[in-house]
Amino acid sequence: MELIEKLQPNKKPLMVLGTSSGAGKSLTVTAIGRILKNSGEKPIPFKGQNMSNNAWVDWNGGEMAFSQALQAFACGIIPSSEMNPILLKPQGNSTSEVIHLGRSKGITTAKDYYKDWFFPGWEVIKKSLNSIYERYPNCRLIIEGAGSPVEMNLIHRDLTNLRVAKYLGANCILVTDIERGGVFAQIIGTLELMKPDERKLIKGILINRFRGDLSLFEEGKKWIENKTRIPVLGIIPWLNDKFPPEDSLDLLEKKSYATNPEIKVGIIKLPSISNFSDFDPLENEESILIEWVIESQDLNHYDFLILPGSKQTIKDQLFLRESGLTKEIKDYSNNNGNIFGICGGLQMLGTILEDPFFKEGSKTNFKQSIKGIGLLPLKTTFLKNKITRQINSESIWPKSTKINGFEIHNGVTELDSCQDTLKIKPIFKDLDLGWYQENSQGGTIAGTYIHGIFENDEWRDQYLNLIRKRKNIPLSDKKTRSYKMKRESIIENLANEFNKHLNLSSLLN
């Protein structure tokens, strides 16, 4: 039996475990972080290992999951890759890129991951925890688990659930989603599969997403407490506030709430889509209706079209070609369409994609060079080293304003000297961050490497007004409420709702 050494923090950490994936762990950590911040504590979020292509870049250029960055915002602190020391970025065929402390360390198959990366992963988790406590000795970690803590085929190599809980002696909350049904079996089954020393760490149970009259679950609450001898700390009602999903599969379930939209946006649902939180500012615009495009179709009913980021740009470009969407996108552009590409989407809008080091796929499956959509005279070459950095720049088009965001990409893009480049113009004063040009019918084709571009309120307003002008509808002259302020309001409301129904006092003392 392996003995796990223990760290002894000054303040007892809280850990949120779930009976399954999607039980509500991420939002629970976000809410608790804001509750503790508002009470005067110094909360810091932590997730030892996350698997997601929805990434964020810290101020040292380190990659981390966007969900931990959001939790850091809720805690009122600057996100750092130490808060998510292991990030696995899926890239298809049961392979993932391995990120340790913000830096890419290589590619692994699912079969080899636990054999090759388990012990280095545990060391980087411990290093991160020790570093956080050295800098913030009186902080209280709010830790998020992953999936279920009792996947019996994987539990001996689970880096991010009970191993972390035992290492820190954390007070654990077990969260379950009553909306899925079977909540009693989820709770009892999870606890029964734990060893006695693991079960002792579970100090409370949280019932999430309850619809209807909370008093109707009082008998259920008593039954759970009598059966488990663990208190039910709260029953959280169904909440409608929207947050970015961690898993791109959830995108198909997201609904736009615009009832009388002025602008209709189509976003291409690429197989290897990444950084889909880029579109949250658009989803929060009352005048915009967003639809996800998953197959070849007539695109002309959209006011503008977005090609999002991609973890496997060449693979996704081949998908566009084989599905017929490349032709549909070209036809849309030739019919006064407005197109905007972000990162991989920008690269695909160009004329050629070259991959001399096979950064975009295996040597057997993909060619070293393929044609892009061909709407912008740009050539992209995928190099060995990845560019990851925060961006502070200034836009030239559609107006001059300060711009913030971040980059994550291997490809380097430049003007294609074999094409007519007279019409293409830079979007930013940093000339390699994005380009645009008008098509023959008056629409625009534009693209940028900046993730988070739509979080820049003045820039977003001007771009949307450009669409309104071409649609011959009144321009928006109101001062748009800051997206980041709106996000803060949502976090605050989330924390207030949790605080009404969740009793944390017994876990904090």
Write the class of the CATH domain 248-482: alpha beta
What is the average pLDDT value for the chain, to the nearest integer? 92
Residue 125: φ, ψ to 5°: -65, -45
Indicate the range of 4-8, 183-187, 349-353, 484-488 predicted with least confidence.
Answer: 4-8
Residue 97's pLDDT band (cuts 50, 70, 90): very high
**How many helices (H) and strands (E) would you count in the chain?**
14, 25
> Tokens 């709430």 belong to which residue?
257
- pLDDT of 360 higher than 60: yes
| Terminal-to-terminal C-alpha distance of the chain | 32
Q: Is the pLDDT of residue 478 over 90?
A: no
Instruction: Name the 3-class secondary structure at 117.
Output: helix
List C-alpha distances in Å: 278 to 45, 343, 345, 450.
22, 11, 12, 9
What's the pTM value of the predicted model, to 2 decimals? 0.93
Burial call 332-367: b when 16+ CB within 10 Å, e when fewer:
bbeeebbbbbbbbbbbbbbbbbbbeeebbbeeeebe
Q: How far is CA 167 from CA 1, 7, 170, 207, in A?
A: 15, 6, 8, 26
User: Which of 410, 402, 427, 421 has the alpha carbon at shortest distance from 107?
Assistant: 410
The reply to whether 248-482 shares the fold of 14-239 is: yes
Condensed to tens digits (0 to 9), the pLDDT of residues 272-296 reads: 999 999 999 998 888 899 999 999 9
Q: Is 245's pLDDT higher than 50?
A: no
pLDDT of 3 above 70: no
Residues 43 and 75 sit within 8 Å (Cβ to Cβ): yes
CA 355 – CA 427 distance, rounded (Å): 26
For residue 75, give every residue at least 6 positions away whose Cβ sits within 8 Å of its Cβ, in sequence order, or none: 33, 34, 36, 37, 43, 44, 45, 142
pLDDT digits (tens, 9 = 90+) for 42-80: 999 999 999 999 999 999 999 999 999 999 999 999 999
Tell me the pLDDT band of 260, cut-offs 50, 70 and 90.
Answer: confident
Where residue 368 falls among pLDDT bands split at 50, 70, 90? Answer: confident
Residues 448-467: tens digit of each pLDDT: 999 999 999 999 999 999 99
For 261, how many CA atoms within 13 A lie in the half-sphere containing its CB?
18
pLDDT at residue number 348: 98
Q: How far is 234 from 210, CA to CA, in rounded Å?
A: 11
C-alpha torsion sign, points 227, 233, 239, 244: negative
Known catalytic residues are 343, 451
What confidence tens digit (pLDDT) does each residue in 109-161 have? 999 999 999 999 999 999 999 999 999 999 999 999 999 999 999 898 999 99
Superfamily of domain 14-239: P-loop containing nucleotide triphosphate hydrolases (3.40.50.300)
Between 440 and 219, name the one with better pLDDT.
219
Q: Is it the case that residue 99 has pLDDT exceeding 60?
A: yes
What amino acid occupies position 132?
Answer: I
- Per the structure block, which two tokens stand in for 54? 């929805």
How confident is the model at residue 464, as a pLDDT? 95
Give the 3-state secondary structure of 218-277: HHHHHHHHHHHCCCEEEEEECCCCCCCCCCHHHHHHCCCCCCCCCEEEEEECCCCEECHH
Judge contact between 71 and 168, C-beta under 8 A: no
Domain edges within the chain:
14-239, 248-482
**Percent of the chain at pLDDT above 70?**
93
Cβ proximity of 138 and 11 under 8 Å: yes
Rounded CA gap, 172 and 460, in Å?
42
DSSP state of 502: B
Categorize the per-residue pLDDT at 358 as very low, low, confident or very high, splitting at 50, 70 and 90. confident
